[in-house]
Amino acid sequence: MAPAFRSRPFTSMAQTFISLNDGNKAPWLGFGTGTALFGKDAAESVSTAIQTGIRHLDGAQAYVNEDSLGKGIKASGIPRSELYVVTKLRETVPAGTTPKSALQESLKKLGLDYVDLYLIHSPFKAAQEGKLKEWWASMEETKNEGLAKSIGVSNFYVDHLKTILEDAKIVPAANQIELHPYILKAAQPTLDFCKERDIVIESYGGLTPVARVPGGPVDPVITAIAERLSKETGTVVNSGQVLSKWLLQKGIIVITTSSKVSRIQEALAVSSLPDLTVEEIKSIENEGSKLHKRIFMKHVFNE
């Protein structure tokens, strides 16, 4: 069993970090360059996010904007050593390409010597072709050769993780999945398995109950919590911040995106908000279990 402290957040130099199983650490809040920025020039948004206080940049080969992510990093003027940069291997790898060679191409586009975390974006195609173990072996090469400080996966559930762990020499540091109250019940087996193996969970789509499924059963609960926190802090706390705080208290890295400086500032402020109570967390999860709603990567989960 993994040490209990591994996935707990801790704060250092005004940043809150999540410890990984390889000794590295990641800022709890990541700025995603997919969804709204998919296929677009992300340079200005990335530079603005960094200047606002973001230090964790989440990119991917599939987002088709790694070059502008790199430009945004350079334009920010913040030293590389202070940033945490992520990219992901695309779901379908062209013939003759390996995860390692794909990362080398990504590094050229990003203008970087290494990424802090390299993820397999999806297990779908590799699992179909029986290449999950082969892909993971190549991922391990990227870490061993210093191209990636940490390696992990995304959108993997238990069977996929078990497959690569049969021969793995390095346990994935992270598994990035869609996670919010309306998918928690379905994701619980994966969360439990990752906890046992000391694999940190990263969430995307965490604001789904607010942004994509308004009027759902968790709304009254998170509204009430937001009101309580607003009174306690003397500042306006919104429902999105409550959802991010819920994730953070579970030791989960949060990936979010916004073009508005005010929204980025709100997200960054979450780590300093008072904790949700045990009863509030239970209420969010109980109400969330009343509705199942997956927004992304449905094909991986046969939905």
Please identify which residue in the block is written with the tokens 């309306």.
182
- Answer yes or no: are the C-beta atoms of 198 and 2 closer than 8 Å: yes
Active site residue 114: no
Picking from 43, 32, 116, the residue whose alpha carbon sits closest to that of residue 73 is 43
Binding site members:
121
CB atoms within 10 A of CB 36: 12
Picking from 171, 109, 112, 162, the residue whose alpha carbon sits closest to that of residue 139 is 171
Binding site members for substrate:
121
Helices (H), the chain: 43-52, 66-76, 99-110, 124-128, 132-144, 158-165, 184-196, 208-211, 219-233, 239-249, 261-269, 278-288
From CA 119, how far away is CA 27, in angstroms rounded?
16
Beta bridge partners of 86: 58, 117
Integer distance in angstroms from the first to the last C-alpha of the chain? 32
Beta bridge partners of 15: 12
| DSSP-assigned letters across all residues of 136-186 | HHHHHHHHHTTSEEEEEEES--HHHHHHHHTT-SS--SEEEEE-STTTHHH
Beta bridge partners of 256: 31
Catalytic one of 63, 84, 118, 204? 63
φ, ψ (nearest 5 deg) of residue 225: -65, -40
Catalytically annotated residues:
63
